[in-house]
């Protein structure tokens, strides 16, 4: 039964290679797509990916059915397309996939960041895609993994529970069921507003990077990002960002987890403040800072996570002064208008919706 | 003749002690005032201050005429009151001085930061002071100095040219003339808008501190503030702040010096960018970062410098997005509403003025 589910993994980065190899080792027929053919030529030549992992984790040669940079070929026989690319590429993937999607196919974004499903769906519609496709998003990438060679991947850990939501959420159960043989770890994440507004990277990554900007650039990131980078004042900014995110969520009817609740849930790390809880998480020890500010912690997390949260705040009347400050500094440092390049509400297709209409849209798929 | 000028130095910090001792060694009768008597009890007991300095600088025992914490006594015989206190204390000093000021006296703020004279004058009026007093401000403190003992001071350097402006600027010449025997270094700074908007500390200090927040707190400031702290991305923020400041100045009719022009003028340091010019200034080598974020680079420079520049920008239609971001992060980190505590236009007494009226006010002393 399970071998009848045909997977296509879209994106051959650290996460995509690990997922493709793991799915193949589980026995599923897997196609791997990557936009640039050269990036997957070694995998194509070898016919698969060597997977390593810790003691009890999956390992071995994951033989792939097909490796391609042709989206039509990639999607032709797929039941489930697993999109494992930076969220800044979601719109482009949607545009490339639109002509090839067929009724009954499932697309899962790993992860959606904030507004991934909303943007993906908006692009599909704009491209005239009328196929009855279910688009879903995971709250975070299920793997901690790394690829150190062209046809290699290493899995450090697989998360035990990852919330996932479809747009509309009435179809989430069908996605969970389709994924269950491969990934029983996915659980019902309520709606895509929930998965998108529980995006903790939005809170931690850009501010931590910017408030350590001088040190990152003058040392090449040679310090402990969380242990040395999260000081009491930096944590005060993280807490302010977190309060704004949770308040924006409340304004659209979503009870988001606080940063403290998330640290408790994800790592069993506790404390009376984010500063304490982060320093009580042994897993943060040894994690180095990014080597440069030209890093996804800014160029992905700002436009794809902070901008849509700020945009929701502005639209529904929540002050997001601290989020605005971080976005603004990122724009200055990267000389880029992230406000314009980021996920604004019109790119998500929701700028005209009242709160009631928005909630109806994410649960039922229509706002009226 | 010169000994007829009676000086009162207000404030017995690093700068005030150096100035009082130096003036005394030049032969002027000097009174030293400090709000807290204990802070000057050793000076009172010894009758003066031991001054040291570099090779050719002033040194010796500067005998003071009077040491007091009574403002009435401090001002009774003064011709010129030199206010050498943090700018956040200007309003309080003005309030304390108001009942005691007499016609013909001169008050000089060292320095005014942004809006010092405007605020001081507004407070004097609010307190019902009708004496014909000239209030002036220096663009920066003329001394680089330090006090390492209760009755000691050390001068590292004395600046060669310091712009100074009176409010109104029509009276600047009288102040320069009155100061000339002691300080020929003071030059005509045009208006208090010029001295206030050429405030380079506003640009350098808070942003450099915040973008190195993690490192300052995790190392206690054990790194080179300018050489390691000003990296290309940090410099990009400084340049954005500088552009906003110069644009605000232009909007009120002031041609402010750019940061690059200032580095060239003050240190003969050149470069094609702030990053280059700062790294070409050997004097920045060895300057350590502040040991904590609880430092005047934030709690003074944000409310007394950045807030009035932002307020002028908002009033006269200039976007000050980067300045706003820095102020906002400072508010978050210090859990303080610097927007409210800072020099807003109503505290400066200029919120109702058009640009033309503002320029008339700073040049002629009335706006109509």
Q: Which residues of A touch B228 (CB under 8 A)?
A: 214-215, 218
Using only C-alpha atoms, what is the Rg of chain A? 20
SS (H, E, C) B24-91: HHCCCCEEEECCCHHHHHHHHHHCEEEEEECCCCCCEEEECCEEECCHHHHHHCCCEEEECCCHHHHH
Instruction: Check whether the bond before A168 is cis (ω within 30° of 0).
Output: yes
pTM of the model: 0.93
Whether A301 shows a pLDDT value over 60: the answer reads yes
Model confidence at B3, pLDDT cuts 50, 70, 90, reads low
Cβ separation A322–B335 shorter than 8 A: no
Task: Give the minimum alpha-carbon distance from A251 to chain B in angstroms, rounded to a whole number.
Answer: 22
CA–CA separation, A151 and A156 (whole Å): 17
ipTM associated with this complex:
0.90
* pLDDT the model gives residue A55: 80
Active-site residue identified among B100, B110, B279, B301: B301
| Residue % of chain B over a pLDDT of 70 | 99
CB within 8 Å of chain A, chain B residues 5-24: none
Q: pLDDT for B45-63, tens place per residue?
A: 999 999 999 888 899 999 9
* pLDDT the model gives residue B368: 82
Active-site residue identified among B14, B205, B242, B279: B205
Task: Give the minimum alpha-carbon distance from A209 to chain B in angstroms, rounded to a whole number.
Answer: 9
Catalytic residues of A, by residue number, are: 205, 301
CA–CA separation, A117 and A107 (whole Å): 9
Residues near A322 by Cβ (< 8 Å), separated by ≥ 6? A237, A240, A241, A244, B328, B329, B332
Task: Give the minimum alpha-carbon distance from A293 to chain B in angstroms, rounded to a whole number.
Answer: 8
Whether A46 shows a pLDDT value over 70: the answer reads yes
Which one of B204, B206, B215 makes the best mutation probe of the A interface by having the most chain A beta carbons within 10 Å? B215
* pLDDT the model gives residue A1: 43
Cβ separation B328–A322 shorter than 8 A: yes
Instruction: Check if A198 contacts B (Cβ < 8 Å).
Output: no
Ramachandran quadrant class, A37 (left: phi over 0; alpha: psi -120 to 50; beta: rest): alpha
CA–CA separation, A296 and A147 (whole Å): 17
| Residue % of chain A over a pLDDT of 90 | 95
Q: pLDDT for A285-299, tens place per residue?
A: 999 999 999 999 999
The residue with greater pLDDT, B291 or B4, is: B291
- For A213, the closest of B234, B321, B335 (CB atoms) is B234
Instruction: Check if A215 contacts B (Cβ < 8 Å).
Output: yes
Contact B154, B83 (CB under 8 A): no
Cβ separation B230–A214 shorter than 8 A: yes
Concerning whether B205 is annotated as a catalytic residue, the answer is: yes
* pLDDT the model gives residue B1: 43
Instruction: Check if A64 contacts B (Cβ < 8 Å).
Output: no
Mean pLDDT of B117-136: 98
Considering only alpha carbons, which residue of chain A is nearest residue B209?
A211
Q: pLDDT for A95-107, tens place per residue?
A: 999 999 999 999 9
Task: Give the minimum alpha-carbon distance from A307 to chain B in angstroms, rounded to a whole number.
Answer: 15
Residue of A31, A34, A25 lying closest to A6 (CA atoms): A31
């Amino acid at each position: 039964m399970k071998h009848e589910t045909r997977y296509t993994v879209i994106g051959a980065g650290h996460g995509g290679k690990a997922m493709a190899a793991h799915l193949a080792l589980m026995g599923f027929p897997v196609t791997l797509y990557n936009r640039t053919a050269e990036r997957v030529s070694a995998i194509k030549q070898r016919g698969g990916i060597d997977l390593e992992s810790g003691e009890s984790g999956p390992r071995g040669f994951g033989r792939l059915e097909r490796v391609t940079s042709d989206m039509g070929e990639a999607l032709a026989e797929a039941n489930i397309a697993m999109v494992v690319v930076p969220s800044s590429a979601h719109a482009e993937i949607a545009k490339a996939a639109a002509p090839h999607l067929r009724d009954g196919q499932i697309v899962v974004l790993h992860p959606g960041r904030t507004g991934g499903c909303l943007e993906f769906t908006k692009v599909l519609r704009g491209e005239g895609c009328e196929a009855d496709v279910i688009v879903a998003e995971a709250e975070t990438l299920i793997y901690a993994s790394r690829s150190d060679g062209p046809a290699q991947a290493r899995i450090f850990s697989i998360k035990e529970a990852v919330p996932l939501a479809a747009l509309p959420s009435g179809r989430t159960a069908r996605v969970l069921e389709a994924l269950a043989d491969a990934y029983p770890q996915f659980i019902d994440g309520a709606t895509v507003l929930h998965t998108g507004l529980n995006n903790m990277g939005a809170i931690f990554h850009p501010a931590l990077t910017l408030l350590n900007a001088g040190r990152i650039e003058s040392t090449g990131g040679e310090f402990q990002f969380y242990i040395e980078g999260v000081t009491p004042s930096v944590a005060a900014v993280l807490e302010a960002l977190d309060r704004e995110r949770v308040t924006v969520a409340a304004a659209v009817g979503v009870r988001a987890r606080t940063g403290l609740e998330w640290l408790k849930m994800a790592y069993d790390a506790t404390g009376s403040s984010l500063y304490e809880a982060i320093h009580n998480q042994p897993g943060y020890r040894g994690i180095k800072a990014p080597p440069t500010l030209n890093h996804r912690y800014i160029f992905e997390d700002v436009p794809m996570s902070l901008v849509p949260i700020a945009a929701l705040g502005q639209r529904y009347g929540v002050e997001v002064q601290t989020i605005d400050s971080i976005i603004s500094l990122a724009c200055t440092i990267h000389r880029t208008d992230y406000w314009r390049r980021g996920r604004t509400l019109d790119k998500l297709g929701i700028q005209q919706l009242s709160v009631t209409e928005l909630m109806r849209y994410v649960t039922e798929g229509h706002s009226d």
